[in-house]
Amino acid sequence: MLTRIITAVVALCLLVPILLFAPAWAVASLFALLGAVAIYEFFSCVGFKKEVWLLVISILSLTLSIGCSIANVELIVEYAFEDWFKYLAMLPSFLQAVTVLAFILAAVIRYKQLPVDRLVMLFGLFWYTKIGFSALSGLAMEGGYLQEVVGATIPLWIALCIPWVADTLAYFSGFFFGKKKLCPEISPKKTVEGAIGGVAGTGVTAVLVFGFAKSWEIVPLLVVFFGAMILAVVSIYGDLFASVVKRHFGVKDYGKLFPGHGGIMDRFDSTIPVAITLQVLLLIPYVEKLI
């Protein structure tokens, strides 16, 4: 427990200043780096980390795609009509095609060494990781060149804080009131009472935060309450999904990067689906105006 607390404190001391003071493109680049580590963890989990060529292509596909997205946001106003910029804009699609072809090639030429069921699952996990960390990077760049404040945007703070609040409140709710197991075969420690406490508590916490900031003039507190609870539910399912994958492959943690906590995917398992959901919600004009 002491190791977990020390690791959490150190991680927060490093992450919070970056989110507060680093330029948006630097925050987005950080998520590209974390996404690359997450892909390596999935390759290791599935048992394919020795397939270096496929791992390298997957990592390059994620990092370069996010890098191109960052460049598009930063440079589109000044260089939108330049020929080289048009090729830059097409690069993510090219990388996606290369990655798909790489997995097809691996399935054919390595069919005796790579079980096809694991390869297909890894293909899905790769896209899950890529979409998730691209969403986090996109939330960091929300507003692009018009963004007057450097560092993390409000949507990114929401994506990062909702899972943490929900998980913390669910832990204490389950500790004091937990009786009925939520998904005993997937996560034995989670309880129905803990999940209810985490979801409801997240809604109340969001209302208190937005109310303290006097944001009710912009965002109706009822919308904040139910919106936060929906994202809390999404975060719980993200956590359970990551646990399903670990149990399927018989691993305890995805990595050892954070002593006492595991790897990147052990820390971002519930954040990724929240970020994806937020990016979808931001496509709705009403929600975009609220955030």
The DSSP secondary structure of 11-73, one letter per residue, reads: HHHHHHHHHHHS-HHHHHHHHHHHHHHHHHHHHHHHT-TT-HHHHHHHHHHHHHHHHHHHHHH
User: What confidence score (pLDDT) does residue 212 get?
Assistant: 75
User: What confidence score (pLDDT) does residue 193 get?
Assistant: 94
Domain boundary among 150, 182, 213: 150
Q: Are residues 158 and 291 in the same domain?
A: yes
Q: Are residues 287 and 194 in the same domain?
A: yes
Q: Are residues 192 and 291 in the same domain?
A: yes
Structural domain of 80: 23-150
Q: Are residues 130 and 114 in the same domain?
A: yes
Domain boundary among 97, 119, 150: 150
Q: Are residues 57 and 82 in the same domain?
A: yes
Q: Are residues 35 and 12 in the same domain?
A: no
The total domain count for the chain is: 2
SS3 of residue 181 by DSSP: strand
Q: Are residues 27 and 96 in the same domain?
A: yes
Helix 271-281 with 154-177: angle, nearest 10 deg: 130
Q: Are residues 262 and 130 in the same domain?
A: no
Cα 269 to Cα 267: distance, rounded to the nearest angstrom: 6
Task: Note the pTM of the prediction, 2 decimals.
Answer: 0.88
Q: Are residues 281 and 168 in the same domain?
A: yes
Q: What is the pLDDT along the chain (291 residues), one digit of tens a residue?
A: 667 778 778 888 888 888 888 888 889 999 999 999 999 999 999 999 999 999 999 999 999 999 888 877 665 555 555 666 667 677 788 888 999 999 999 999 998 889 999 999 999 999 999 999 999 999 988 744 334 444 557 888 899 999 999 999 998 999 888 889 998 888 888 999 999 999 999 999 998 888 776 555 667 788 889 999 999 999 999 999 999 999 999 998 998 888 877 899 999 999 999 999 998 888 776 666 555
Domain boundary among 132, 150, 168: 150
Q: Are residues 217 and 115 in the same domain?
A: no
What separation in angstroms does the CA of 98 have from each of 48, 93, 94, 161?
19, 9, 6, 35
User: What confidence score (pLDDT) does residue 79 get?
Assistant: 59
Q: Are residues 216 and 141 in the same domain?
A: no
Q: Are residues 102 and 163 in the same domain?
A: no
